[in-house]
Amino acid sequence: MKFPEYPTVTCYTPKGFDATKLPNYNKRHHYKYDWSLHTLLLKHLRSSSKFDEPVSLSGKVLQELFGSVYYPMIIKSLMDGKVITRFNYRAGEHAFKYKINPHILKEGIQAKQIDKVTIRRKIHLFRDKDIQRNLKDAISKHEFQNLTFIDIDVEDAIKFINSKYKEGTPKHTHRILSVYEVSRMKDTQTAEGIIKMDWMFKVDRSGRWHTPIAHLAKDLRPFLKTIDGKRFVELDGACSQLTFCHKYLLEHVSGKVSNSNIIGEGGTPTESDNEYEPQWGLDGPKPMGRGSLPSYDVRIDLMWRNAIFNGNAYQLLMDGMQWKKSRDEFKEYFFKNLFFNKYRPKLTKMEEAFKHYFPHEFQRLRKTKKRIGNKELAVAVQRYESRFWHKWIGSSMREKFKLINYATIHDSILLPEENVNEVMVEVTRQAIRFFNPYDSDEPLIPTFRVKTFEAVSDRGTELNRPQK
Amino acid sequence: MSKQTTNSNGVTCIIDSDGIHCSYYVGDDITFRKTFKNLTDKEISRLSVDDML
């Protein structure tokens, strides 16, 4: 039977391992021995005791890959060949752990390409199941397809990495690997409804897409290009997290965001304020048609709202707190000590300062953290953000800019430089809709910026730098 | 050799001989980073923004 071409799969095995020397070696199973050992090796590396203690093996996954008949045969061969040892860790049950024997690991580890089509096919089909689950709708499919139209200047990127990072350091290694991973994206193939690919694709529970592009180090973005050679620029929202968080807090702590645009701005919160529930009048809830006035009071810190939508909120706080270090250091401090830190009765310095300047936003933030926890708040805000970029903007890209290549990086979008202006108009239009679900005389308008990758023009200079 | 994995909370871990290098993109160009020496598979799968602070 002839299978369609599947990209090569890389696996890692100990250099001292030679499958052909195993007792009962079967040539047909050659790559199954390698893949079993590769799986076990990764398990060892991820365990706290590294190679000292036995680890459990995902038998189900391997059985699905190799077939339930062959899986025990492969494991038995590896055990009989003294490559691995099996331990029974739960008496009376077939619960086993395995350990790679130390003598096999003495010579180190090597990367191997799996050429056998049947194994490659099985591995790809297995990965495909997970991908298909996340690519059910036409918008996601369109965005995924666009990822496969992206390429990278491998040679220039590698030269840049070698000139800037010391070989063998984690920064060097990870960058080299990610360049190769991006370069494999364009080799993605689809046939008979199956996606054949050898690169990471995962959607987390907040809806963010984790792809080689999203994980590519920033200093390598200048080397990205479309498959027809166009360079990218990045379009992102200023104070993006703050705007999405503002919307989330208003919708989940104070009722509907639309109402906050109409009334009740200003004032000082009191201890008796219960901002979880709308402050209904004596007559109870009233119908909330368009333009009708709500009967409860949502208090907004106007200065904060203007600052986040104008994109100068961090600067405002930095000035207020007389921050001496860099802007990025401030943002990190801000997120760690105000937005995504745990709820604790005692306020951090950052919380004290924020409460002083913006008491209403602070109260909403604090109450939300107390109610759902800081972890869930981070996920909830990112869910808004990914909904906007992957669904709203994704839909626009599919309907209005079908031929423009793009990639979303969590809270921004990469676009060819020549197309960025027309897309920016649409992104702003959609953002106004997103942040103003009801008509308003003074709609909230987020600020978007285009970032060019300066290193492109500096690449020559960067490449000439002496190795550190 | 290194292996990369991303859990459902959006924490990405790169596992190599030096340890487990984790990163979490918060937003607005800010990424929290931390390197752990020892973590089990289960611990990796449960990492969240909390562990990155």
User: What is the ipTM for the molecules in this complex?
Assistant: 0.81
| CB contact at 8 A, A297 and A279 | yes
Closest CA to A110 of A41, A168, A199, A212: A41
Q: What is the pLDDT of residues A222-238, one digit of tens each?
A: 999 999 899 999 999 99
| CB contact at 8 A, A248 and A461 | no
Q: How confident is the model at residue A37 (pLDDT cuts 50, 70, 90)?
A: confident
User: A374 and chain B: CB distance < 8 Å anywhere?
Assistant: yes
Closest partner CB to B14 (pick from A111, A174, A202): A174
How many Cβ atoms sit within 10 Å of the Cβ of residue A264? 17
Which residue is closest to B11 within chain A, CA to CA? A204
Chain-chain contact of B10 with A204 (C-beta, under 8 angstroms): yes
Q: How confident is the model at residue A57 (pLDDT cuts 50, 70, 90)?
A: confident
- Residue A196, pLDDT above cutoff 70: yes
Q: Helix or strand or coil: residue A90?
A: coil
| A121: Cα separation from own chain's centroid | 27
pLDDT at position A230 is: 93
- Mean pLDDT score, A31-45: 82
CA distance A144 to A232: 17
Q: pTM for the whole thing?
A: 0.69
Closest CA to A150 of A372, A375, A329, A409: A409
Closest partner CB to B10 (pick from A48, A206, A244): A206
Q: How confident is the model at residue A111 (pLDDT cuts 50, 70, 90)?
A: confident
User: A180 and chain B: CB distance < 8 Å anywhere?
Assistant: no
How many Cβ atoms sit within 10 Å of the Cβ of residue B50? 17
Closest partner CB to B15 (pick from A46, A111, A341): A46
Which residue is closest to B47 within chain A, CA to CA? A375
- Residue A265, pLDDT above cutoff 70: no
Which residue is closest to A202 within chain B, CA to CA? B6
CA distance A40 to A55: 8
pLDDT at position A2 is: 46
CA distance B27 to A451: 15
pLDDT at position A95 is: 61
Q: What is the pLDDT of residues A69-98, one digit of tens each?
A: 888 889 889 999 999 998 876 555 556 788
